[in-house]
């Protein structure tokens, strides 16, 4: 869970990274705020499934992507290019998930309680262009000019995505591999290290 001050700080960092694109980001921020991007979760029942998790994941991914790019491809990609990938690769989820209320059983009292949560928007009016990665790439292209490699990184940078010629894509577009590395680090190493730091040792 994130506190409101933490969510506010993450939003400020997101906008700071977004500003690296070097043009007026007013319309992007307006549309993201309209979609409640900064309050949405990354997932519904796994990683960062809490309010603000989507934004938190994006800024953590950017930090890791910059680190991996500097290690394996120094000087090849600019920070604005890396920012586009990290900030937009899951942006569609802002439109995919909507707030709701859920009935949850309290394990301590045995009673059912109404709590705020999120669910998939299954209404016919939901914006969609296909799956999350492709839809995110289409949304990103409305705001920035995407090179072929940026499109590939957004569309195939999720380690869970697959494609018949995935090995060829990884060879031709190093940014796809870097994006996958950063995703894995944020999903498992960053989270795990935080947990280890916060867990008292015997």
> What tokens were used for 132?
């999350």
Q: What local confidence, expressed as pLDDT, does residue 22 receive? A: 94
> Do 34 and 109 form a contact (C-beta atoms < 8 A)?
no
- Give domain status of residue 147, yes or no: yes
Q: What local confidence, expressed as pLDDT, does residue 20 receive? A: 95
Q: How far apart are CA 84 and CA 61, in angstroms?
A: 11
- Give domain status of residue 107, yes or no: no
Q: How far apart are CA 162 and CA 73, in angstroms?
A: 23
- Give domain status of residue 135, yes or no: yes
Q: What local confidence, expressed as pLDDT, does residue 162 receive? A: 67
Closest CA to 121 of 101, 99, 102, 143: 99
List, for residues 148-179, the tens digit of each pLDDT value.
999 999 999 887 766 667 888 889 999 999 99
The pLDDT of 94-109, averaged and rounded, is 89
> Do 35 and 94 form a contact (C-beta atoms < 8 A)?
yes
Provide the 3-class DSSP secondary structure of residue 2. Answer: coil
- Give domain status of residue 113, yes or no: no
Which residue segment(s) compose the domain that 86 sits in? 4-96+124-191
Q: How far apart are CA 135 and CA 91, in angstroms?
A: 8
Q: How far apart are CA 197 and CA 118, in angstroms?
A: 29
Element (H, E) at 152: helix 148-156
The pLDDT of 32-45, averaged and rounded, is 95
- Give domain status of residue 202, yes or no: no
- Give domain status of residue 119, yes or no: no
State the total domains in the chain.
1
Share of the chain above pLDDT 70, in %: 92
Residue 21 CB coordination number (10 Å): 17
> Do 69 and 38 form a contact (C-beta atoms < 8 A)?
no
- Give domain status of residue 26, yes or no: yes
- Choose between 61 and 164: higher pLDDT: 61
pLDDT at 70 > cutoff 90? yes
Residue 108 CB coordination number (10 Å): 6
Instruction: Count CA within 13 A, CB hemisphere, residue 65.
Output: 32
- Give domain status of residue 201, yes or no: no
Q: What local confidence, expressed as pLDDT, does residue 57 receive? A: 96
């Amino acid at each position: 869970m994130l506190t409101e001050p933490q969510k506010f700080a993450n939003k400020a960092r997101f906008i700071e990274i977004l500003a690296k694109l070097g043009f007026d980001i007013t319309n992007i921020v307006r549309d993201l705020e309209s979609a409640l991007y900064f309050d949405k979760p990354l997932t519904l029942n796994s990683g960062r499934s809490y309010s603000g998790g989507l934004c938190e994941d994006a800024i953590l991914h950017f930090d890791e992507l910059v680190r991996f790019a500097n290690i394996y491809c120094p000087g090849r990609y600019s920070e604005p290019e890396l920012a586009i990938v990290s900030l937009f690769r899951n942006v569609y989820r802002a439109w995919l998930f909507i707030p709701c209320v859920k009935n949850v059983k309290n394990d301590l009292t045995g009673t059912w309680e109404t709590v705020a949560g999120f669910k998939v928007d299954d209404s016919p009016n939901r914006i969609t262009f296909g799956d999350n990665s492709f839809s995110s790439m289409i949304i990103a292209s409305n705001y920035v000019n995407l090179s072929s490699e940026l499109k590939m990184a957004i569309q195939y940078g999720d380690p869970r995505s697959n494609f018949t010629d995935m090995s060829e894509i990884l060879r031709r577009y190093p940014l796809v591999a870097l994006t996958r590395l950063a995703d894995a680090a944020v999903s498992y190493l960053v989270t795990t290290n935080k947990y280890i730091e916060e867990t008292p040792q015997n």
